[in-house]
Structure 1
Amino acid sequence: MTSGAGVGGMFTAEAAGVVLVSACRTAGFDPAGAELLRLGSNAVYRLAGTPVIVRIARDPGSLPDMTRAVRVARWLESEGFAATRVVADLEQPLVVDGRVVTFWVSAQDAVVYADLRELGDLLRRLHWLEEPGSLALPYYDPFQEVWDTLRALGDVPGDDVAFLNERAERIQKEYGRLDWVLDFGMIHGDANVGNAIRDRDGRPLLIDLDGFSLGQREWDLVLTSLYYERFGWHTRTEYESFVYHYGFDLMNWPGYPVLADLRELKMTLWIGHQVTTSEKAAEEFARRVHALRTDGSRKDWQAF
């Protein structure tokens, strides 16, 4: 294909739509009437007339991650764990015009999020599982992504890049001195209430399995703590229900501020890659960098 939708073109809704049509035809689905649910790290579509979600990865190098996500989903299903399911009897991922595409069973016709109580239960159960060696999960290395992302920030003012580099170096030094308290093992990698939805029967499910890896369990708790403590996206009651159902309050651990700083940095860098394609992203990136520079409030940070 020479549509501009592939790795040489911008990852826009129009470009992703071209990939969607080709991928659906290859997999035997009808793309007519598909609804774009989200355009971020993935373009996520719900197909019309069939309970299927299609995910098209922004990163053309994501084939290993998505292949692993499919394996993880099939293993979780064999364990009876409440997580999103891949479409059966379909060899995937597909690579279409340089983009990695996967097909998932749609939990229901509209996105209904689980609550923090249920997220805490899901993570506690997940952390009880012992993953088989056949999954070949990688070790979670947050700084590999940080440095790769910083090197690729070509459309961001140089003084902002220098500031973010200095901040990353400071956080990496502090990170190296952390005294972890929870067990090392399998983690979701991006656990937050946005990745826990309800199915048609009201049962909570974990979704977005791309980041499954081996790491410290604190990583699966930090976003919920950060969203409550710094962003104000959760109420105190909601947060306390999460803590009660998981069984540990990350904010009582001295290393929490370091993980929170690192997560904020990663969230800001992710937005930085979209400044040339989205005016909203450019405004949000400037807002976040200013808050980091001045240690200002994060209460006005917008969810992406």
Structure 2
Amino acid sequence: MTTSEHTAFDFAAAESILLQACRLVGLHPDEVEMLRLGDHAVFRIDDGQVVSRVGRHADRLPSVRREVAVARWLDAEGYPSARLVTQAEQPVVVDGHPVTFWEGLADGEQYASTHEMGELLRRLHGLEAPRFSLPDLRPFDKVEQRLERAVIRAETRAYLADLAEELAAQYEQLEFALPPGHLHGDFNVGNVLHDSEGDPKVIDLDGFATGPREWDLIQTAMYYDSFGWHTEAEYADFADGYCFDVRQWSGYTVLRSVRELLMVTWLAQNAGTNPRAAEEVEKRVETLRSGGSRRAWAPF
């Protein structure tokens, strides 16, 4: 029985798993700090010298193994991305939870510029595909898995499930403008950080898949026009860096709605242990129902 099957995956549970994994690889941290809790718990160890990712469920193991393969592929290609801590065989598995250890990039989170993001994404999409296989992008699988486990109101769960079914039908009808290929899968400003030398690097490599390239462009666009987290000039710099503006594509609003659904269900995973997250989920669902502004969504 794994930890995730008999206890909540909260800070205390994730930290316990992390400390066990540290002992297995010979790390003896003086300090650990949780950065965020979602599909993984992400920890900064000893002022950011090492960053660790602890998988929420045992079913994360295949994607984490793929993440390790992706990291090695990108390293061999000389692409600027997160690097594994080399002294450990990875992933480490504790009570079924996969744990990985990464080189820290800098003190704190220093985000790349949107132009750097666009250039890095164009460069990533331009790489020759890896020799190992990547799964097809299946965004609605995550929605289903999250809703099965989320501690939320039955009415909320039913609404989100119905919305997912509706959007899945629309998604299947989309005609994409860009050629398909390998994807980062979760490309946004939070996943492109400057290292200690001031150079941008791409992190969070576990979502790599094969599918429409528009998927990697959508978050930066919606962070601008739905949430106001980027300025108009910043978004223009991103589109210029990538050499394509996904907001001008006919399927943009459908893909944006799919991403919004994923944002809500991602947060719903924490509703059972975090009252603030539970409240935010209900607020977000109300805006989805009413068509209201997303600018009141609080970042998590």
Q: Is the deviation greater in 92-101 or in 191-200?
A: 92-101
Q: Which residue identity lines up with residue 250 of structure 2 in the other structure?
A: P
Q: Which residue identity lines up with residue 301 of structure 1 in the other structure?
A: W
**Using the alignment, how far apart are the partners of 2:50 and 2:160 within structure 1?**
39
Aligned residues: 300
Q: Which residue identity lines up with residue 100 of structure 1 in the other structure?
A: P
**Using the alignment, how far apart are the partners of 1:205 and 1:238 within structure 2?**
18
Counterpart secondary structure, 1:10: coil
The residue correspondences of 1:159-174 to structure 2 (distance < 5 A) are: 159-174=155-170
**Using the alignment, how far apart are the partners of 1:216 and 1:175 within structure 2?**
11
Q: Which residue identity lines up with residue 130 of structure 1 in the other structure?
A: E
| 1:45 aligned partner | 43
Would you say 1:101 and 2:104 are equivalent positions? no
Would you say 1:141 and 2:138 are equivalent positions? yes
1:195 to 191, 196, 217: 191
Pairwise CA distance, 1:62 = 0.7
Q: Which residue identity lines up with residue 282 of structure 2 in the other structure?
A: A
| 2:65 aligned partner | 67
Q: 1:5–1:18: 8 Å Cα contact kept in structure 2?
A: no
Counterpart secondary structure, 2:137: coil
Q: 1:15 to 1:151 in 2, by over 3 A?
A: closer
Q: 2:55–2:99: 8 Å Cα contact kept in structure 1?
A: yes
**Using the alignment, how far apart are the partners of 2:241 and 2:68 within structure 1?**
28
| 1:289 aligned partner | 285
Q: 1:170 to 1:49 in 2, by over 3 A?
A: closer
Counterpart secondary structure, 2:226: helix
Q: 1:177 to 1:293 in 2, by over 3 A?
A: same
Pairwise CA distance, 1:89 = 3.5
Computed over aligned residues only, the root mean square deviation of the Cα atoms, in angstroms, reads 1.6
1:245 to 241, 245, 248: 241
**Using the alignment, how far apart are the partners of 1:172 and 1:229 within structure 2?**
23
Q: 1:294 to 1:6 in 2, by over 3 A?
A: closer
**Using the alignment, how far apart are the partners of 1:157 and 1:14 within structure 2?**
25
| 1:207 aligned partner | 203
The residue correspondences of 1:72-151 to structure 2 (distance < 5 A) are: 72-133=70-131, 135-151=132-148
**Using the alignment, how far apart are the partners of 1:262 and 1:6 within structure 2?**
27
Counterpart secondary structure, 1:38: strand
1:227 to 213, 223, 227: 223
Pairwise CA distance, 1:32 = 2.2
Q: Is the deviation greater in 228-237 or in 141-150?
A: 141-150
Pairwise CA distance, 1:216 = 0.6
| 1:271 aligned partner | 267
2:149 to 129, 149, 152: 152
Query: Which of structures 1 and 2 has the larger relative contact order (alpha carbons within 8 angstroms, sep 6+)?
Result: 2
Gaps of 5+ in 2: none
Q: Give the TM-score normalised by structure 1.
A: 0.94
Q: 1:253 to 1:6 in 2, by over 3 A?
A: closer
Instruction: Indicate the percent of aligned positions where both proteins have the same amino acid.
Output: 44
Q: 1:19 to 1:152 in 2, by over 3 A?
A: closer
Give CA-to-partner distance per residue, 1:268-296, whole Å, 9 cap, x none.
11222221100110111011000001000
Q: Give the TM-score normalised by structure 2.
A: 0.96
Give CA-to-partner distance per residue, 1:131-181, whole Å, 9 cap, x none.
222x2211111122223333334x322222222222112211211111111
| 2:9 aligned partner | 11
Q: Which residue identity lines up with residue 202 of structure 2 in the other structure?
A: L
Q: 2:38–2:56: 8 Å Cα contact kept in structure 1?
A: yes
Pairwise CA distance, 1:7 = 4.0
Counterpart secondary structure, 2:101: strand
Q: 1:7–1:60: 8 Å Cα contact kept in structure 2?
A: no
Q: 2:38–2:270: 8 Å Cα contact kept in structure 1?
A: no
Q: 2:114–2:189: 8 Å Cα contact kept in structure 1?
A: yes
